[in-house]
Amino acid sequence: MTSNPSTRTLGVPGFTADYNIHWNWTPARFYETAVQKENAEVATGGALVVKTGKHTGRSATDKFVVRDAETEDKVWWEAADHISTEQYNALREDFEGHMHGLTLYGQDTFGGADLEHRLPVQIITEYAWHGLFVHHLLRQPTADELKSYKPEYTIINLPSFRANPARHGVRSETVICVNMTDKIVLIGGTSYAGETKKSVFSIMNYLLPEKRVMPMHCSVNVDDDDNSAIFFGLSGTGKTTLSANPDRTLVGDDEHGWSEHGLFNFEGGCYAKMIRLSASSEPEIFATTKMWGTVLENVVMDPETRELDFDDATLAENSRGAYDLTAIPNASPTGRCGQPKNLIMLTADAFGVLPPIACLTPQQAMYHFLSGYTAKVAGTEKGVTEPTATFSACFGAPFMPRHPVIYGELLRDLIAEHNVNCWIVNTGWTAGPYGTGHRMPIKATRAMLNAALDGKLTNAAYRKDENFGFEVPIAVPGVDTALLNPRGTWSDGAAYDAQAHKLVEMFINNFAKFESHVTDDVKAAAPHAA
């Protein structure tokens, strides 16, 4: 592997010059340079601590797709912002000019552990610590694979670049621009490393459906008998916590594909939230913060003692840690497993309406996948206690370029083809809404999940939920039976009915945009107020 700048060309339209690029550095080289030149610091235990400035999360309103013959009929433009080819050409010209004189870091990587469906992506970063992030989060070629490596896509990330809204057709100085024709992503004006990882994800989500491979924003684990499980869920639903199970192997925590070969991780690492992290609640993730190699974004550190303070949100609520999957003791070394036996959709229902677990038909699974529901309690520090419903199609709408129904139909077909058991699990509130009830006991949630994954609910007795129509088990081993009927946990049954009616209406109103795109059996899976 080279240590001196290379004159290797990128092979991308408009980027034909020789640039000052160091290719395929080791983590140690990235570490050294980040500390010497980029104000990165080393914490007690060896983690690399960095600050991203004003951008501490994704810049969702600054993401654009080039609208051209390739994307016109494939991208769901109702949910995607676009620029023209002419505007992109101006952006590319300015981007290319900005690269001259910069020292850059290039890496040959793969998105995807499935050898047939993986995507070769060369990633160019301006920051050495971004290079270390990429080394963790993407999958690295072997020495033999590097000899014949040919990238299909290119991502160039230049935080010091500033976009020109008038010239480039964008909203601000920050830009994330995807050109599917030229097979390139240009990222500028943000130091938040997650933009690179999510750009690879968006490309995979665009390409794979045409190969009948389902891309998913989910976590996956598997037992010793290759019985795998998919966990969908928006932020705050417990996806990372519940998929981390000492009795099961973690395949991955965020991005996966479902192919004819089974499930496979897109990534080689994890990008975990750090805020309020503790050794007692998340021991495996906490341990990575004491490891050499981990990149900690916007985590507060004492400059003298180099001790970390995960409770301090001064720099960001969205503080993050990036580390290789090998840092997790029971992580899969291959990133692959067989066809799933169970699929779980997690929701944190702050209205206290949904049961703690229910079984879904393939049609109901498609309906709830397209809905992507959870509820959040926003602004509690200001005394606002009314929960807010959040619907994100496919449990990851910002990263799914095509129409959600394309992903939903593919999921439904795969569920039916492989006879997958589907469940919706409420990790939110019971005995009333937020402010009146209480959070679903994590011990009970784990017991219900274990019963489902172990096949103990296959022959159980069920009742039909009168609002949502799915089947709710009457009893689950190790769980208080009263918990399984949410209406019975409320002190006022009429108040529950009124709240349930409101939630059903929210689902119906949200799904209206999909009504004309789905089949009658999926429409019939919609909830109906009792």
- 472 with 357: CB under 8 angstroms? yes
21-38+62-211 domain in CATH 1.10.10.60?
no
**Which tokens go with 115?**
């050898």
Mean local confidence (pLDDT), 228-252: 92
Domain boundaries, the chain: 21-38+62-211, 214-259+339-524, 270-327
Amino acid in position 79? A
Which CATH number, 2.60.120.10, 3.30.559.10, 3.90.228.20, 1.20.1440.230, labels domain 214-259+339-524? 3.90.228.20
Burial class (CB in 10 A: 0-12, 13-18, 19+), 100: exposed
pLDDT value of position 339: 98
235 is catalytic: yes
pLDDT value of position 419: 97
The yes-or-no verdict on residue 165 having pLDDT over 50 is yes
Task: Compute how many other C-beta atoms are within 10 angstroms of the C-beta atom of residue 501.
Answer: 15
Question: Quick one: pLDDT band at residue 7, thresholds 50, 70, 90?
Answer: low
The yes-or-no verdict on residue 384 having pLDDT over 60 is no
Calpha distance 40→327 (Å, rounded): 21
309 is catalytic: no
Calpha distance 238→486 (Å, rounded): 20
Q: Is 435 left (phi over 0), alpha (psi -120 to 50) or beta?
A: left
Calpha distance 43→456 (Å, rounded): 46
**Which tokens go with 460?**
């159980």
Q: What angle do CA 264, 453, 243 make, to 5 degrees?
A: 55
pLDDT value of position 530: 55
pLDDT value of position 381: 34
| pLDDT tens readout for residues 276-287 | 999 998 899 999
Beta carbons within 8 Å of 454's beta carbon, 6+ residues apart: none
Is residue 122 within a helix (H) or strand (E), and if so which, with residue range?
Answer: strand 119-125
Asked whether the domain spanning 270-327 has the same topology as the one spanning 21-38+62-211, the reply is no
198 is catalytic: yes
Give me the percent of the chain exceeding a pLDDT of 70. Answer: 97
**Strand pairing category for 336-337 and 340-347:** unpaired
Question: Quick one: pLDDT band at residue 53, thresholds 50, 70, 90?
Answer: very high
Question: Could you please report the per-residue DSSP string of 86-109?
Answer: HHHHHHHHHHHHHHTT--EEEEEE
* Catalytic site residue from 130, 239, 256, 487: 239
219 is catalytic: no
Dihedral sign of CA atoms 299, 305, 307, 312 in order: negative
* Catalytic site residue from 52, 240, 249, 390: 240
pLDDT value of position 380: 33
* Catalytic site residue from 51, 117, 198, 403: 198
* Catalytic site residue from 58, 92, 139, 368: 58
pLDDT value of position 16: 86
Mean local confidence (pLDDT), 76-94: 97
Alpha helix stretches (DSSP H) within 302-417: 362-371, 404-417
Give me the percent of the chain exceeding a pLDDT of 90. Answer: 92
* Catalytic site residue from 6, 94, 235, 306: 235
> Closest Cα partner for 64 from 138, 174, 215?
174
240 is catalytic: yes
Q: Is 469 left (phi over 0), alpha (psi -120 to 50) or beta?
A: left
The yes-or-no verdict on residue 51 having pLDDT over 80 is yes
| pLDDT tens readout for residues 348-363 | 999 999 999 999 999 9
Beta carbons within 8 Å of 434's beta carbon, 6+ residues apart: 350, 351, 352, 377, 385, 387, 428
Least reliable range by pLDDT among 19-33, 103-117, 236-250: 236-250
Beta carbons within 8 Å of 500's beta carbon, 6+ residues apart: 353, 467, 487, 529, 530
Residues paired with 15 in a beta bridge: 12
Chain centroid to Cα 9, Å, comes to: 32
Mean local confidence (pLDDT), 40-53: 98
Question: Quick one: pLDDT band at residue 385, thresholds 50, 70, 90?
Answer: low
Between 383 and 107, name the one with better pLDDT.
107
Question: Quick one: pLDDT band at residue 11, thresholds 50, 70, 90?
Answer: confident
The yes-or-no verdict on residue 382 having pLDDT over 90 is no
| pLDDT tens readout for residues 437-468 | 999 999 999 999 999 999 999 999 999 999 99
Q: Is 156 left (phi over 0), alpha (psi -120 to 50) or beta?
A: beta
Calpha distance 117→260 (Å, rounded): 10
217 is catalytic: yes
pLDDT value of position 240: 83
Structurally, at CATH architecture level, domain 270-327 sits in Beta Complex (2.170)
pLDDT value of position 383: 44
| pLDDT tens readout for residues 294-322 | 999 999 999 999 999 999 999 999 999 99
The yes-or-no verdict on residue 378 having pLDDT over 60 is no
**Which tokens go with 509?**
């109103």
191 is catalytic: no
* Catalytic site residue from 108, 114, 254, 349: 254
* Catalytic site residue from 320, 341, 403, 412: 320
**Which tokens go with 325?**
């999957």
| pLDDT tens readout for residues 120-158 | 999 999 999 999 999 999 999 999 999 999 999 999 999
| pLDDT tens readout for residues 89-113 | 999 999 999 999 999 999 999 999 9
pLDDT value of position 235: 83
The yes-or-no verdict on residue 247 having pLDDT over 50 is yes
pLDDT value of position 379: 42
Calpha distance 175→15 (Å, rounded): 18
pLDDT value of position 376: 81
* Catalytic site residue from 197, 217, 336, 403: 217
**Which tokens go with 411?**
């999921």
The yes-or-no verdict on residue 490 having pLDDT over 80 is yes
> Tokens 């993986």 identify what position?
118
487 is catalytic: no
